[in-house]
Structure 1
Amino acid sequence: MAKLYFRYGTMNSGKSIEVLRVAHNYEEQGKKVLLFTPAVDYRDGVGTVASRIGMRKEGIVIDDQLDMVALAAKERPKCILIDEAQFLNKQQVLQLTEITDTLGIPVIAYGLRADFMAQLFEGSYHLLAWADKIEEIKTVCWYCDRKATMNMRLEDGRPVFEGEQIQIGGNESYLPVCRKCYSSKKKQAHIL
């Protein structure tokens, strides 16, 4: 039975590496995969899934006009992979459930759980509610040896805790941190 998986982690936890690894494993066996990425993520070019270690692959751009169900029904892949799934909207997440439930195609969505203000993204909110299986991809806090559970945004190398939810960036803009270090940096900024 096909399932909808949501695999989440902080920035720099290896989510995109995992997406590319899974795609490679299917394709190496001659099995078709559809790889999707939201249009809002333009960091490495719209439609490109790229890891920090240099691996990259072109994907199908998800925008408001894309009917992922119709495309999956036409292409009949063995698996569907989604990078940066936090940027999906509710209707797009529901399309993923339909692909899984009616077409019997497993869907693995990778993304952040929460933003730099510890607020859920729309896509993450709905994936946490609708996914059959939720798995955490772990990494270590930038400042200590605890497990990173938060994303800290930086501006000019300094932590910030207010602003627009979406700001595309990498290590220059975000650090994976544990809750204790996040709270400590927030107190230092006199925001708590």
Structure 2
Amino acid sequence: MAQLFFLYGAMSSGKTIEILKDAHNYEAQGRKIALLTSGVDNRNGVGTIASRIGMERKAVPIDAEMDVFAYIKKINAEDQARGDGPIACVLVDEAQFLERHHVMECAKIVDELGIPVMTFGLKNDFQNNLFEGSKNLLIFADKITEIKTICHYCGRKATMNLRIHNGLPVYEGDQVKIGGDESYHPVCRFHYFHPEQIR
């Protein structure tokens, strides 16, 4: 039975590697996928899923107005009309940037089209507030899985994202500031509040 999955983790937890691996595994078995990502993340160009270790793939960017359900329903019908197989899975990267209607559309893909949807993203922002997409995925996802990583400072489990500017922690500012290792460190709760202390 199809389900809506939310796989979340702190920065540098390997979420992008995981989605690219899952995409590869489906395609290696001859199954069709739909690969999407938020249009907000433009670090490597809009519509590019790129990991820190150099793997990347083009994907369909999701903008604020996009109806994800209508898009998947249309391309799935077109594929089947050509004699291709149906979409076996929808994979969505940077899911924290989704809006509530996008999450509801993903749920509708599962419930009405019977296609599993796997979403990958951050849970909380640098101030430890939930992102809009993450909040709604925590409500509506059938299965929620944490992708674990370690604290930048001590090696314990990282659960938070510390924003860094010129080597110093930042605790105020806009929720969305696109960046990678130069801008964010995955941290444990202690080092979120005390990044200067070695433990």
Which bin holds the TM-score, normalised by the shorter protein? over 0.9
Q: Which residue of 1 aligns with 2:148?
A: 138
1:75 is the counterpart of 2:75:
yes
Q: Which residue of 1 aligns with 2:47?
A: 47
Unaligned runs of 5+ in 2: 77-86
What is the alpha-carbon distance in structure 1 between the residues aligned to residue 28 and residue 71 of structure 2? 22
Query: Which amino acid is 2:32 matched to?
Result: K
Shift of 1:64: 2.4
Q: Give 1:21-170 correspondences, 5 Å limit.
A: 21-76=21-76, 77-170=87-180
Q: Which residue of 2 aligns with 1:174?
A: 184
Shift of 1:186: 9.0
Residue by residue over 1:152-184, the C-alpha shift from the partner in whole angstroms, topping out at 9 and shown as x without a partner, is 000011111110000000000000000111122
Q: Which residue of 1 aligns with 2:79?
A: none
Shift of 1:74: 2.5
Q: Given that residues 161 and 186 in structure 1 are in contact (C-alpha distance below 8 angstroms), is that contact kept between their aligned partners in structure 2?
A: no
Query: Which amino acid is 1:171 matched to?
Result: D
Query: Which amino acid is 1:121 matched to?
Result: F
Cα 1:25–1:124, aligned 2, differ >3 Å: closer, same or farther? same
What is the alpha-carbon distance in structure 1 between the residues aligned to residue 155 and residue 56 of structure 2? 29
Query: Which amino acid is 1:173 matched to?
Result: S
1:17 is the counterpart of 2:17:
yes
What is the alpha-carbon distance in structure 2 between the residues aligned to residue 101 and residue 63 of structure 1? 23
* Aligned length in residues: 187
TM-score, with length taken from structure 2: 0.91
Q: Which residue of 1 aligns with 2:4?
A: 4
Residue by residue over 1:123-176, the C-alpha shift from the partner in whole angstroms, topping out at 9 and shown as x without a partner, is 000000000000000000000021000000000111111100000000000000
Unaligned runs of 5+ in 1: 188-192
TM-score, with length taken from structure 1: 0.95
What is the alpha-carbon distance in structure 1 between the residues aligned to residue 60 and residue 148 of structure 2? 26
What is the alpha-carbon distance in structure 2 between the residues aligned to residue 142 and residue 20 of structure 1? 24
Q: What is the percentage of aligned positions where both structures have the same residue?
A: 55
What is the alpha-carbon distance in structure 1 between the residues aligned to residue 64 and residue 32 of structure 2? 24
